């Protein structure tokens, strides 16, 4: 299996959805782990994961992989991970889907009875080879919160795939004992 990533997004946006009340200021700050933050405008602690989903074709899609866990109170420059090498988030993903500029993922927080908008990361610039099989997607976020303010420093993605001919070559090696 091969992989590309982790890659950083080129675009971070605040996206409203039904039931969400609070926006993210400076969402473009999620493109690098550099202690410049996207910050939510809600007040209240603790903050917990609400929705964590992929964006396919520009639309929030697939399974919500949020565990509902509380986000760290302080920024430790460590990532919380979702998905993995064989997790397709309840979706069928083609190479064209992950190579598209509108492929990415979203995260939303819940706290004090309120929900934040999606913080959306897209424009990862994947160049998965045509004909490959997508096996899984790993999303990672460096986020923190405390004293009523919640931050996201960085969001990133890794895509795992089997290259064209990769499975056939492994089968040949197994049969021939290479």
Question: Could you report the per-residue pLDDT of 146-178, keeping only the tens digit for each?
Answer: 667 789 999 999 999 999 985 555 555 555 665
- Provide the pLDDT for residue 86: 98
- Provide the pLDDT for residue 124: 98
Q: From 155, 86, 162, 95, select the one nearest 127 (Cα to Cα).
A: 95
Which of 17-26, 55-64, 92-101 has the weakest average pLDDT?
17-26
Give the phi and the psi of residue 66 in degrees, each rounded to 5.
-60, 140
User: How far is the C-alpha of 119 from the C-alpha of 30, rounded, in Å?
Assistant: 9
Question: Could you report the per-residue pLDDT of 120-130, keeping only the tens digit for each?
Answer: 999 999 999 99
- Note the helical H segments in the chain: 95-99, 166-176
The first and second tokens of residue 3, run together, are 């992989």
The first and second tokens of residue 48, run together, are 């917990």
- Provide the pLDDT for residue 166: 58
3-state secondary structure of 174: helix
- Provide the pLDDT for residue 31: 97
Cβ contact 6:138 at 8 Å = yes
**pLDDT greater than 70 at residue 132:** yes
- Provide the pLDDT for residue 140: 98
Cβ contact 134:98 at 8 Å = yes
**pLDDT greater than 70 at residue 136:** yes
**pLDDT greater than 80 at residue 10:** yes
Q: From 30, 103, 32, select the one nearest 62 (Cα to Cα).
A: 103
User: How far is the C-alpha of 73 from the C-alpha of 47, rounded, in Å?
Assistant: 9
């Amino acid at each position: 299996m091969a992989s590309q990533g982790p890659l950083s997004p080129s675009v971070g946006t605040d996206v409203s959805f039904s039931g969400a009340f609070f926006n993210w200021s400076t969402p473009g700050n999620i493109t690098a782990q550099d202690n410049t933050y996207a910050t939510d405008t809600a007040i209240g602690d603790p903050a917990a994961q609400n929705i964590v989903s992929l964006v396919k074709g520009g639309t929030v899609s697939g399974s919500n992989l949020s565990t509902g866990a509380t986000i760290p109170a302080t920024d430790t420059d460590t990532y919380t991970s979702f998905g993995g090498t064989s997790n397709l988030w309840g979706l069928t993903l083609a190479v064209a889907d992950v190579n598209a500029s509108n492929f990415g993922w979203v995260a939303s927080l819940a706290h004090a009875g309120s929900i934040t908008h999606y913080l959306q990361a897209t424009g990862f610039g994947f160049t998965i080879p045509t004909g490959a099989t997508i096996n899984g997607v790993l999303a990672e976020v460096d986020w923190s919160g405390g004293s009523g303010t919640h931050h996201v420093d960085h969001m990133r993605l890794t895509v795992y795939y089997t290259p064209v001919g990769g499975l056939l070559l492994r089968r040949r090696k197994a049969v021939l004992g290479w």
